[in-house]
Structure 1
Amino acid sequence: MNNSIGIDAGGSLLKIAYEENGRLHFRKQPNSEMDGALQWLKIISLNKTIYLTGGKAGTIKANYFPEAKVVDEFSAVCEGSRYLKMKEAMSVSDPYILVNIGTGTSWFTIDGEQYERVLGSGIGGGTFMGLGKMFTEADAFSDLVSLAAEGDKGNVDLLVKDIYHPEKPPIHGELTASNFAKSQGITSSSPADKMASLNNMIAETLTLLTVQAASLHNIKQAVFIGSTLAGNQLLRENLETYCKMSGIDPVFLEHGEFSGAIGAMLT
């Protein structure tokens, strides 16, 4: 990989992976800063092969790196996840569900070197950003993540314990009976509460789809990757909690958001 640079150009972010002095390095830029990042890359990419993947790969090839090679996005992200699992000393011999939470979310079954995309959803980081801007005055991902961590979803969501109060509920009382269903609480709740509810709704929805995909293919492990998880500890905790409640073993790769860029380099 020493003579290769991988670029994953997604719907909102540009992810770059390259090797230098035997170590993998990573860089991430919003698409609004694409030109500056790619001009920098031109300087360091002399005598190196550029591998592109993602929705904007064709645009980058045409405008910046005409000699670059374009790699299928699904192949790249699956190969990258296998590589990172091995780097983190995890087994890749057992099948797993790969959940790539980007602007939207894709699900893959991976069994050895065989993979198949089995599901897709429009729920993902784009949902978090779009509704986040509607609920708050913040427009930076990190600010929305911080708000979600400070909020209380129970001020917005109707929880199981709310329905059964004052009786003891038959299932865990903190589970959501209906997202954003406290109509009176919606108007009085804080932006942080709304973001906590949104983060939780995304986690619940993605877990539900993950569990269904895992059950259909008789798989017990789900590997979560994608930029939406970067710095979003609350989303990770919610996914982990809901997966374990459903009998799924959740795995979070340290540099999972760069799986596509790494996989492109490995081609």
Structure 2
Amino acid sequence: MSVAIGVDWGATLAKIAVRAPDGALAYRLLPTEDAEASRATLVSIGADRIGLTGGGASMLARSLPGEVVQVNEFAAWGAGASALLADGARRYLLVSIGTGTSVLLVDGVSVTRVGGTALGGGTLIGLAAGLLGEADFEAIARLASRGSRREVDLLVSDIYPAGGIALAGDLTASNFGKFARRLREGPVDRADVAHAIMGLLAENIVLVCTGLAVAAQVTRVVFGGSTLRHNATLADMIGGLLRAYGREPVFLTQGEFTGALGALRIALGQ
């Protein structure tokens, strides 16, 4: 058995699944900003067969040695999710939260894109860079884990007294609705702002997913993608909101490599 790799080349990161000669799997992340350095790293792995998917696949395919198989991105995600799901579920929404967010309907072997949103990891880093002067993803996630968006977002309870409306008081009435006033009063805790950015993403991603789940008549919503990596705050928000809407959230272990693993499996004919 030879070395084979699957590569999901995204707007920000290249996700790589490596199958060793003994069949063991390993995973790597590379930044795509320096495309030539990342390409050189891929070449150095010495794979005999490469499955490529993602936005940069066609460009990359022309510059790699060995047998290269280009794989449809949706098919790659479906194959990867099927491999990572422990219970063999057949019908569910599959959500990739990367630089943006894409929502797929998996129905057996059929994988169809049914929607998405431009909100994603690119939004998170862009807003944090502008509002906090912080563009490191893991630093933003750590900040958010210590914050409370109640100090930044306007809640229903800030507008109505208890029992004044048939809505829970802790629901968000306006993302960042308190932010301008808080700034006039003095500095706003950076952790609270980071937490509010996570809330903005989570609430809007969940609204999109819930509407699509209702339309497709599915209960299970499966998540992967690099924006959930080391980001328990975002995952917890998404999970809690989805359960409140009567859906079943599932977060894939190694979910950021779903597309790469699927590309590898398809390239190997699995």
Q: So what's the TM-score if we normalise by structure 1?
A: 0.92
- Aligned: 1:105 with 2:104: no
8 A contact 1:11–1:55 mirrored in 2: yes
Query: In structure 2, what residue type is equivalent to 1:28?
Result: L
What is the distance in 2 between the residues matched to 1:166 and 1:262? 49
Query: In structure 1, what residue type is equivalent to 2:259?
Result: G
Partner of 2:256: 257
Partner of 1:30: 31
Deviates more, 1:149-158 or 1:178-187: 178-187
8 A contact 1:180–1:186 mirrored in 2: no
What is the distance in 1 between the residues matched to 2:42 and 2:98? 23
Partner of 1:71: 71
8 A contact 2:120–2:201 mirrored in 1: yes
Q: So what's the TM-score if we normalise by structure 2?
A: 0.91
1:203-240 superposed Cα distances (whole Å, 9 cap, x missing partner)? 00010011100100110000011000000100000000
Query: In structure 1, what residue type is equivalent to 2:27?
Result: F
C-alpha deviation, 1:147, in angstroms: 1.3
1:99-140 superposed Cα distances (whole Å, 9 cap, x missing partner)? 110111111111111121100210111110111101112111
8 A contact 2:49–2:66 mirrored in 1: no
Query: In structure 2, what residue type is equivalent to 1:153?
Result: R
Partner of 1:209: 208
What is the distance in 2 between the residues matched to 1:253 and 1:60? 27
Partner of 1:51: 51
Query: In structure 1, what residue type is equivalent to 2:158?
Result: D
Partner of 2:192: 193
CA RMSD of aligned residues (A): 1.8
What is the distance in 2 between the residues matched to 1:240 and 1:138? 26
What is the distance in 2 between the residues matched to 1:81 and 1:129? 26
Partner of 2:120: 124
Partner of 2:235: 236
8 A contact 1:14–1:34 mirrored in 2: no
C-alpha deviation, 1:164, in angstroms: 1.6
8 A contact 2:82–2:88 mirrored in 1: no
Query: In structure 2, what residue type is equivalent to 1:185?
Result: R
Partner of 1:133: 129
User: After superposition, where does 1:140-219 map in structure 2 within 5 Å?
Assistant: 140-165=136-161, 170-182=166-178, 183-187=180-184, 188=186, 189-219=188-218
- Aligned: 1:15 with 2:15: yes
Q: 1:91 aligns with which of 82, 88, 91?
A: 88
SS at match of 2:223: strand
C-alpha deviation, 1:163, in angstroms: 1.1
SS at match of 1:32: coil
What is the distance in 2 between the residues matched to 1:167 and 1:50? 60
Which ranges in structure 2 are unaligned for 5 or more consecutive residues?
none
C-alpha deviation, 1:74, in angstroms: 1.2
C-alpha deviation, 1:25, in angstroms: 0.4
C-alpha deviation, 1:35, in angstroms: 3.2
What is the distance in 2 between the residues matched to 1:194 and 1:161? 19
8 A contact 1:149–1:234 mirrored in 2: yes
1:55-95 superposed Cα distances (whole Å, 9 cap, x missing partner)? 1112222334485221111111111111111xxx21323x1
Deviates more, 1:130-139 or 1:8-17: 130-139
SS at match of 1:200: helix
Work out the percentage of aligned pairs sharing the same amino acid. 36
